[in-house]
Amino acid sequence: MIKNLRLKTWTKQSKLIHLACFILYSLCIEVGAKDFQPIGTVNPSKYVPAQKQIAESKNGMVTTQHFLATKVGEKILNKGGNAYDAAIAVGFTLAVVLPRAGNIGGGGFMVMHDSATNQSYSIDYREMAPAKSFTNMYLKDDGSFNDDKLSTFGYLASGVPGTVAGFWEIHQKFGSLDWELLLEDAIYYAENGFEITPYMGDMLTKYEEKLSYFEPTKKIFMEHNPDFTGSILVQKDLANTLKLIAEKGKDGFYKGEIAKRIANEMQKNGGMITENDLTNYKPQWRKPLISDYRDNKIITMGPPSSGGVHIIQMLNILENYDLKLIQHNTVDYINLLAEVMKYAYADRSKHLGDPDFFVVPISEITNKKYAKSIKNKIKIGESTSSSKILPGSFEEIESVETTHFSVADKNGNIVSSTYTLNSTFGSGVTIEGTGILMNNEMDDFSAAPGIPNQFGLLGAEANEIQPKKRPLSSMTPTIVMRDNKLFFTTGSPGGSRIISAVLQSILNIIDFEMDLEEANKSKRIHHQWQPDILQIEFSLDNDIKQQLLNLNYKVEVIDPATCLQTIMFKDGKYYGYGDFRRPDAFASGDIYD
């Protein structure tokens, strides 16, 4: 008899069991021959998730990966701000209270549905390759890959940040409150500090070596090392930077004192970002991808995010199956999802890149006939080796540490946004005197054919480095509508696992009719084609493991690497849930009339 992997309703005992699975999947950062590995272990048994139960409200909802940022978003809505105002305030606050992923030194994507126009929008505020960058910048003279990890650590790893410009652009189009008001709380927490939670303290300890390598970074984050218990993290330089942004808008970041400091530090330390790069940076409004799945409207992000394209592709394949009949997280279900994921990630490796530089065959990949052709190759009860799955041919030719937040207001405006520094604490570089922790997004380009990035993802010509190009991403902010109203929003951090996590959140809610708590607490699986490994969270029943091994899967049990931030609208109420996989995550619906 096949056992079911779905997590049951949590008792006190089962909570303790699953709290023991909070250690995040981490990748080491190397500089030359030196390995920067997390030191010590994170002891998850002492964490109490901030989210105790599903939040609900008639007037709006905010869900983020830090309870302080959630409360800031809620405060903005209570002041009469809309979802866009709250999202901007949340984004700036996360740059302070969630420094491993929240940022003004990185970039991301936002998908929106506007109630006034009844239209959907998306904006790409992804980082951009500096003008001086070039295709082979991380290769040796003989054409081989330079394993000094210059694309992941240090000044050469950073692309031109897009977060501030993206937030400014959104405010200009949709904002209702004064810009300065949206930064007040972020400035307050940076200037006066906030208490380091046990989880954050353990993350700082885990990345002690990386955070101690560059003096400006060490001065900020290692002041209380080795004991962070009850300590206050103060970031005075970041507060001053945020004050300039509050006063001058995006010019406070991309021009003047801050831009000069970034450019000077880059020049002194071998980085490529110049003042001109900063001055010339512009976010791009892009047409969102829209599809349907079982009478639900899927609104998601297009390239250079790969997530939306492949979410639609995989849903197109899966709608040919009765998933309820197969049953959730049975061996047959895991088998089916793994095979579907292989085909999607194979296509990602060849066909996805910045659409401003490369013709991405979106309509072909998301075509339902193409999905049927893939479906016909899949046989439940069999597994196809990744070496035998090739990217589709058409006539026309991502960090574990990302953060997602979702906001909905009482007027029906919806925001789903994912942004990142790429890997945990980005490049490890803090720009002297600014408090800005910089991204290491250049690693998301394809350095060379056949060379995987730090998340094991392969790329091709579509994603090669070119000046002013935006690297491919797995970020997948998504909105699902039913009967012309919000059904739910979803999105997650997790590098390459973002796409598979978002896919499973959609299936859990639509096909298996789970509530937000059930949908979040269900085990997630992941397969990204290469390497040919089936990953499953938490633990694996021996019977199921043996059946998967009999299907020739190489199975790996992993610690959780994703964290869905989801809002649902049902029967006139908003419901929110902060994924327990990051214990500081929190959704709040205490929003007043």
Q: What is the pLDDT of residues 190-221, one digit of tens each?
A: 999 999 999 999 999 999 999 999 999 999 99
425 dihedral zone (left: phi>0; alpha: psi -120 to 50; beta): left
Structure letter (DSSP) for residue 77: H
Strands, E, within 232-314: which ranges? 232-233, 284-286, 289-293, 296-300
Terminal CA-CA length for the chain: 52
Cis peptide before 216 (omega within 30 of 0): no
DSSP for 551-565 reads TT--EEEE------E
Tokens of 77: 């809505």
Mean pLDDT check: name the lowest of 141-155, 252-266, 429-443, 462-476.
141-155
- Bigger pLDDT: 65 or 20? 65
Structure letter (DSSP) for residue 145: B
Contacts 24+ apart (CB under 8 A), 208-215: 208/39, 209/36, 209/37, 209/39, 210/29, 210/36, 210/153, 210/424, 210/425, 210/428, 211/425, 211/428, 213/31, 213/36, 213/153, 213/428, 214/428, 214/429, 214/430
Instruction: Provide the 3-class DSSP secondary structure of residue 493.
Output: coil
Distance CA 504, CA 217 (A): 37
Q: Check: CB of residue 92 under 8 Å from CB of residue 182.
A: yes
Measure Cα distances from 22 to 18, 43, 524 in Å.
8, 8, 14
Q: Above 50 in pLDDT, residue 340?
A: yes
* Tokens 């096909």, located at residue: 511
Q: Above 70 in pLDDT, residue 41?
A: no
Report CA dihedral (269, 273, 278, 280) to the nearest 10 degrees.
Answer: 160
Active centre residues (catalytic): 402
The pLDDT, as a whole number, for residue 400 is 57
* Tokens 């973002």, located at residue: 498
Q: Above 90 in pLDDT, residue 356?
A: yes
| CA angle at 344 for the pair 341 and 350, rounded to the nearest 5° | 140
Distance CA 134, CA 129 (A): 9
Please provide the average confidence, as pLDDT, over all residues in the chain.
Answer: 89
Tokens of 119: 């239209």
Q: Check: CB of residue 145 under 8 Å from CB of residue 133.
A: no
Question: If pLDDT is split at 50, 70 and 90, which confidence band does 2 have?
Answer: very low
Longest pairwise C-alpha distance within the chain: 67
The model carries a pTM of 0.90
What does the pLDDT look like over 376-409, one tens digit per residue? Answer: 999 999 999 999 987 654 333 245 578 999 999 9
Question: If pLDDT is split at 50, 70 and 90, which confidence band does 15 have?
Answer: very low
What does the pLDDT look like over 292-321, one tens digit per residue? Answer: 999 999 999 999 999 999 999 999 999 999
